[in-house]
C-alpha cells in the first residue's frame, strides 16, 4: 500500500538507492503534508499537498492578478462620471430666468392678491387654466354686457423723463366680438390722464381686431395690422414719460412696431398707475380676453 507521508530521514536513503536500483527519481509532487509531515527541499506544503516551486510561482501570479483586481477601485472613478448631473444643471439653465422687473404677474400664484386696486362693473377677473393648453395658468377678464368693465391696477414708481416699458401676452378668443374701442390696459393716474393699449374694429365687421394706442383721449390706430385670434400674442409698449409735448409712445405686436407716435404728452403725473383688464367695450354684449407674462419695468422687456 502506498505511504501517505514521506518521512524526511528516508528521502536521502531513497535517493542513494536510486543510483543503483531506481530507474527514475521519486516524484513527491502532490503528496500529502502537514506541520508534522513536511516536504523535502524544493517542495512546499500548499493546502495540504507538496508542490514544486513552479506551482508556487503560479500561485503568486494569481495573487498579482488579484492586485490588478484592485483596479476596480479606479472603476469607482465612474462615480465621478456623475458629473452628468451637472449636465442636468445646464438643462435648468435653458429655462426662462426669473422675472426681476418692477412688476411681474403670470397668474401662477392662483390669485390676484398682488393687485391692490380693482374696478368691476358687470364683469370680473380671475385666474384660470391657459386657454391654449400650453401653459399652466392665465388671467381671464370678462364683461357681461355693454356697460361692463373689469380692471385690476397697481402703482409703478417711474420718474418723469424716464421710460416705462410694459409687456404682456394677450389671447383673444374667436368668440369675442370687437366693436368700437376695447381698452385692455390703463397707464396713467386714477381719474386723470391715461394711455391705453386697445383694440378697434376699423372694418366694422365686428371680428377684425386692429391694434390701437389711445393716448390722452386721442386714438392712434393701425388699420392694416390685425391681431390674430385663438393664440398668444406678445404686446409691448415703450413710453417716454412726459407731461408736455416731448413724450414718445410705441406699441409692438410680436416684436414688430404697430403704432409709433412722438411729440406728445404721455402722462400728467407720477407715480404711474398700470392696470389690465377690460376698461370699456361699447356696443358689445359680452367680451372675454386672457392675459399672461405681464411685466412693467424701466428697462426693455423682451417677449417670452
DSSP structure string for 19-53 = TTT-SSPPP-TT-B--SSS---TTEEEETTEEEEH
pLDDT at 128: 95
What sign results for the dihedral spanned by CA atoms 191, 197, 202, 207? Answer: negative
State the cell numbers at 37.
509531515
Q: What's the CA gap between 194 and 151, in Å, rounded? A: 14
The span from the CA of 230 to the CA of 174, in Å, is 6
So what's the pLDDT on residue 250?
96
- 148 Cβ contact partners less than 8 Å away, ≥ 6 residues apart: 121, 122, 123, 142, 278, 281, 286, 287
The count of C-alpha atoms lying within 13 angstroms of the C-alpha of 102, restricted to the half-sphere facing its C-beta, is 20
Beta carbons of 199 and 182 less than 8 angstroms apart: yes
C-alpha cell at 231: 393664440
Residue with cell 412693467: 296
Beta partners for 44? 51
Secondary structure letter of residue 57 according to DSSP = H
Question: Tens place of pLDDT for every residue, the chain, 304 residues?
Answer: 444 444 444 444 443 334 444 444 455 566 788 777 778 777 788 878 787 755 443 434 343 444 444 444 444 444 444 444 444 444 444 556 778 888 999 888 899 988 988 888 889 999 999 998 877 899 999 988 878 888 888 888 888 888 999 999 999 999 998 887 888 998 886 666 678 899 999 998 889 999 999 998 899 999 999 999 999 999 999 999 988 899 999 999 999 999 999 999 888 877 888 999 987 666 777 889 999 999 999 999 999 8
Residue 15: per-residue pLDDT: 39
Neighbours of 140 (CB within 10 A): 20
Where in the chain does DSSP place strands (E)? 43-46, 49-52, 103-105, 117-121, 123-129, 137-143, 149-156, 163-171, 181-183, 185-188, 194-200, 210-215, 218-221, 232-240, 247-253, 256-264, 272-278, 287-297
Ramachandran angles phi, psi of 286, nearest 5° = -155, 150
Reported pTM? 0.67
Q: Give all domains of the chain, ordered by start, each with its CATH number.
A: 1-70 (no CATH), 103-297 (2.60.120.200)
Q: Measure the CA–CA gap between 275 and 289, rounded to whole angstroms.
A: 14
pLDDT value at position 41?
77
Give pLDDT, residue 254.
Answer: 96
Amino acid at each position: 500500500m502506498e505511504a501517505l507521508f514521506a518521512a524526511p530521514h528516508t528521502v536521502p536513503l531513497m535517493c542513494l538507492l536510486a543510483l543503483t536500483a531506481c530507474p527514475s527519481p521519486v516524484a513527491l509532487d502532490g503528496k500529502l503534508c502537514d506541520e508534522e509531515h513536511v516536504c523535502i527541499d524544493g517542495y512546499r506544503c500548499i493546502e495540504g499537498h507538496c508542490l514544486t516551486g513552479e506551482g508556487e510561482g503560479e500561485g503568486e501570479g494569481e495573487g498579482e492578478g488579484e492586485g490588478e483586481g484592485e483596479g476596480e477601485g479606479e472603476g469607482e472613478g465612474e462615480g465621478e462620471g456623475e458629473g452628468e448631473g451637472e449636465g442636468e444643471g445646464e438643462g435648468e439653465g435653458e429655462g426662462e430666468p426669473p422675472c426681476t422687473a418692477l412688476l411681474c404677474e403670470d397668474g401662477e400664484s392662483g390669485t390676484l392678491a398682488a393687485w391692490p386696486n380693482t374696478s368691476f362693473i358687470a364683469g370680473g377677473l380671475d385666474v384660470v387654466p391657459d386657454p391654449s393648453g400650453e401653459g399652466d395658468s392665465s388671467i381671464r377678464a370678462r364683461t357681461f354686457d355693454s356697460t361692463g368693465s373689469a380692471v385690476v391696477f397697481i402703482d409703478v414708481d417711474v420718474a418723469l423723463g424716464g421710460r416705462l416699458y410694459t409687456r404682456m401676452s394677450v389671447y383673444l378668443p374667436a368668440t369675442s366680438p370687437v366693436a368700437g374701442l376695447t381698452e385692455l390696459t390703463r397707464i396713467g393716474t386714477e381719474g386723470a390722464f391715461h394711455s391705453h393699449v386697445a383694440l378697434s374694429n376699423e372694418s366694422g365687421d365686428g371680428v377684425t381686431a386692429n391694434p390701437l394706442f389711445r393716448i390722452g383721449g386721442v386714438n392712434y390706430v393701425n388699420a392694416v395690422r390685425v391681431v390674430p385670434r385663438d393664440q398668444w400674442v406678445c404686446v409691448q409698449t415703450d413710453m417716454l414719460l412726459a407731461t408736455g409735448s416731448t413724450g414718445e409712445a410705441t406699441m409692438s405686436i410680436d416684436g414688430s412696431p404697430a403704432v409709433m407716435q412722438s411729440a406728445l404728452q404721455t402722462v400728467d403725473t407720477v407715480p404711474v398707475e398700470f392696470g389690465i383688464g377690460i376698461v370699456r367695450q361699447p356696443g358689445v354684449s359680452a367680451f372675454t380676453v386672457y392675459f399672461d407674462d405681464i411685466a412693467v419695468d424701466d428697462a426693455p422687456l423682451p417677449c417670452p
